[in-house]
Amino acid sequence: MSRCPFCEKPIAAGSASCPHCRAPLEGMLPSGGESLEERVRALLDADQKIEAVKLYREETAASLAEAKEAVEALQAGRGLPVETPKDAAGIESEVLRLLGQRKKIEAIKLYRQHAGGGLKEAKEAVEALGERHGLDVRGSGCLGVVLCLVLCWSAVVAWFAA
């Protein structure tokens, strides 16, 4: 059984998201035990070069140019360069660091960059991760803005009333 790269709890093979931390897992876990090279080659055989480049980028965190070059190397029969897969623990610690600095939006952006998925799923996964580590991340952070607007509006009303 596979483990979630974010919370390390067991998950069923082929899961779209972790049932424990709700992290989106598409593209994070190998499907059916196939290597990255086998999955990229299968996409190339199906004339899906763009999808092959996307898969390579998701699995290795390579730039678009690096991924395109690697896929074209495989297409030319040279094989994929050896790449280190994304470091889930490093991503998690960076997300937690950003949450600790009250930079929730940046944490969600980072999570989406590495895990993929939609904004809602990324937000939920980042919040779940923060809660597991005792961080208060659910607040919207707009109370100060609302109070400022109310005070300004009160000042304008008081000025016109005088």
Side chain identity at 28, as an amino acid letter? M
- Whether 128 and 108 have beta carbons less than 8 Å apart is answered as no
Query: Average per-residue pLDDT in the chain?
Result: 79
Residue 84 scores a pLDDT above 50: no
Residue 109 CB: number of other CB atoms within 10 A?
Answer: 15
Report the percentage of the chain scoring pLDDT > 90: 19
Q: How far is CA 150 from the centre of its chain?
A: 36
pLDDT of residue 111: 84
Do 78 and 44 contact (CB within 8 A), yes or no? no
8 A C-beta contact, residue 88 and residue 5: yes
112-131 pLDDT tens trace: 887 766 788 888 888 888 88
| Confidence at residue 85, expressed as pLDDT on a 0 to 100 scale | 44
Residue 10, beta-bridge partner list: 3
Residue 107 above 80 pLDDT?
yes
Residue 54 has pLDDT above 70, yes or no: yes
pLDDT at 86 over 60: no
Q: Kindly list the domain boundaries of the chain, sorted by start residue.
A: 2-75, 87-162
CA nearest to 39, candidates 24, 25, 58: 58
CA 37, CA 70: separation in Å to the nearest integer? 10
Question: Residue range 41-55: average pLDDT?
Answer: 91
Residue with token string 């360069």:
81
Confidence grade of residue 62 (pLDDT, cut at 50, 70, 90) = confident
What mean pLDDT do residues 5-20 have?
71
Give the mean model confidence (pLDDT) for residues 26-31.
53
**Tokens 């965190």 map to which residue?**
61
pLDDT value, residue 139? 63
**Mean pLDDT, rounded, for 46-53:** 92
CB 68 within 8 A of CB 53: yes
For residue 50, name the pLDDT band (cuts at 50, 70, 90).
very high
The CB-side HSE value for 23 (13 A sphere, CA atoms) comes to 30
- What pTM was estimated for this model as a whole? 0.40
Report the distance separating Cα 27 and Cα 114, nearest Å. Answer: 10
